[in-house]
């Protein structure tokens, strides 16, 4: 894909560590579902392999895959992994989001 979605180095390192512990390929799937407090919510999970219509970005040998429907809502975003006093989580910096919630896991366009 033409890097319309980017995986940060810290997110790639975290995905690699989780995948190694679970004995799975280092492939993070990002999808968007209806719901959450702002209308849409991000969903993350490890994937066994990219699907035929997935967009794929790679950072440090770790792949980020996004289905074609979700890509319309997250194009241009950066997936990061952040650790803070409140905990650690993957965070999506989405330039298309008009509004979001405090937890950072849902958004509206």
Output the pTM of the full model.
Answer: 0.84
- CA dist 9 and 3 (Å) reads 14
Strand partners, 32: 42
Strands (DSSP E) found in 5-105 = 6-7, 27-34, 40-46, 55-59, 62-66, 78-84, 87-93, 99-100
Give all domains of the chain, ordered by start, each with its CATH number.
Answer: 6-103 (2.60.300.12)
Per-residue pLDDT tens over the stretch 26-83: 999 999 988 766 678 889 999 999 999 999 999 999 999 999 999 988 999 999 999 9
Find the mean pLDDT for residues 9-33.
96
Runs of H (alpha helix) within the chain: 9-22, 68-74
The pLDDT value given to residue 102: 54
């Amino acid at each position: 894909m033409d890097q319309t979605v980017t995986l940060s180095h810290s997110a790639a390192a975290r995905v690699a560590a989780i995948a190694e512990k679970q004995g799975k390929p280092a492939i993070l799937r990002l999808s968007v579902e209806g719901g959450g407090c702002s209308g849409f919510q991000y969903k993350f999970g490890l994937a066994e392999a990219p699907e035929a219509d997935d967009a794929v970005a790679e950072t440090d040998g770790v792949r980020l895959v996004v289905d074609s429907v979700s890509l319309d809502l997250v194009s241009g975003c950066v997936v990061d992994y952040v650790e803070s006093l409140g905990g650690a989580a993957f965070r999506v910096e989405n330039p298309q989001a008009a509004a979001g919630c405090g937890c950072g896991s849902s958004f509206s366009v």
